Structure 1
Amino acid sequence: MHTETTATSSRPIETDTVVIGAGAVGMFQVFQLGLQGLHCHVVDALPHLGGQCSELYPDKPIYDIPGIKACTGQELIERLREQMEPFVPTLHLGQQVQTLEQQDDGRWLLATSTGTQLLAKAVVIAAGVGSFVPKTLKIDGIEALIDRNVHYHPANLATLTLQGQHVLVHGGDELAVQAALDTLACTPASVTLIHRRDVFTAPEALLAQLQIYKDTGRIRVVAAQPQSLLTTDDQLSSVEIVLPDGSSESLPVQQWLVFQGISPKLGPVAQWGLELVKKQLPVDTSTFVTEAPGIYAVGDINIYPGKRKLLLCGFHEATLAGFSIAEYLTDKPVLLQYTTTSTRLHALLGVVHTEK
Structure 2
Amino acid sequence: MTQTSIETDVAVIGAGPAGLFAVFECGMLRMKCVVIDALDAVGGQCSALYPEKPIYDIPAHPAIDAGALIERLEAQAAPFTPLYLLGRRVETLAREGEGPEGRLVLGTSGGDVVRARAVIIAAGAGAFGPNRPPLEGLAGYEAGGAVRYLVARREEYRGKRVVIAGGGDSAVDWALSLKEVAAKVTVVHRRPKFRAAPESAARLDAAAARGEVELAIPYQLHGLEGDGTSLTAVVLATLKGETKAVPADVLLPFYGLSTELGPVAEWGLGLDRHHVAVEPATCATSMDGVYAIGDIATYPGKLKLILQGFSEAAMAAHAIHPRVFPGEALHFEYSTSKGVPGGH
With structure 1 as the length reference, what TM-score do the two structures score? 0.61
Cα offsets for 1:299-323 (capped at 9, x unmatched): 1111111111111111111011111
Instruction: Note closer, same or farther for the CA distance 1:60–1:119 as it changes in structure 2 (3 Å cut).
Output: same
Q: How does 1:105-124 map to 2 (within 5 A)?
A: 105=98, 106-124=102-120
In 1, distance between residues paired with 2:154 and 2:53? 16
Q: How does 1:293-304 map to 2 (within 5 A)?
A: 293-304=288-299
In 2, distance between residues paired with 1:135 and 1:282? 25
State the match for 1:39 in structure 2. 32
Q: 1:70 is matched by which residue type in structure 2?
A: A
State the match for 1:154 in structure 2. none
Contact 1:64 1:70 in 2 (8 A): yes
In 2, distance between residues paired with 1:61 and 1:308? 19
The match for 1:64 among 57, 69, 72 is 57
In 2, distance between residues paired with 1:245 and 1:335? 67
State the match for 1:337 in structure 2. 333
The match for 2:127 among 131, 138, 145 is 131
Cα offsets for 1:174-211 (capped at 9, x unmatched): xxxxxxxxxxxxxxxxxxx733569x966476689xxx
In 2, distance between residues paired with 1:202 and 1:327? 42
1:99 aligns with 2:49: no
In 2, distance between residues paired with 1:11 and 1:306? 41
Contact 2:51 2:151 in 1 (8 A): no
Q: Percent identity?
A: 43
Q: How does 1:215-230 map to 2 (within 5 A)?
A: none
Q: 1:131 is matched by which residue type in structure 2?
A: A
Cα offsets for 1:55-93 (capped at 9, x unmatched): 333222111111111101111111101111101111111
State the match for 1:194 in structure 2. 144
Instruction: Quote how far apart the aligned CAs of 1:99 are.
Output: 0.6
When structure 1 is superposed on structure 2, of 92-101 and 273-282 the one drifting more is 273-282
1:279 aligns with 2:229: no
State the match for 1:22 in structure 2. 15
Q: 1:293 is matched by which residue type in structure 2?
A: D
Cα offsets for 1:316-356 (capped at 9, x unmatched): 110111111112322343111111112xxx3x42124xxxx
In 2, distance between residues paired with 1:197 and 1:293? 45
Instruction: Quote how far apart the aligned CAs of 1:109 are.
Output: 0.8
Cα offsets for 1:130-172 (capped at 9, x unmatched): 1346999xxxxxxxxxxxxxxxxxxxxxxxxxxxxxxxxx986
In 2, distance between residues paired with 1:204 and 1:315? 27
State the match for 1:316 in structure 2. 311
Contact 1:18 1:41 in 2 (8 A): yes
State the match for 1:212 in structure 2. none
Instruction: Note closer, same or farther for the CA distance 1:246–1:304 as it changes in structure 2 (3 Å cut).
Output: closer
Structure 1: gaps spanning 5 or more residues: 1-6, 137-169, 173-192, 209-242, 248-260
Instruction: Quote how far apart the aligned CAs of 1:95 are.
Output: 0.7
Three-state SS of the structure 1 residue aligned to 2:31 is coil
State the match for 1:89 in structure 2. 82
Instruction: Quote how far apart the aligned CAs of 1:272 are.
Output: 1.3
Contact 2:268 2:287 in 1 (8 A): no
Q: 1:49 is matched by which residue type in structure 2?
A: V
Instruction: Note closer, same or farther for the CA distance 1:340–1:196 as it changes in structure 2 (3 Å cut).
Output: closer
Three-state SS of the structure 1 residue aligned to 2:335 is coil
With structure 2 as the length reference, what TM-score do the two structures score? 0.63
Contact 1:46 1:133 in 2 (8 A): no
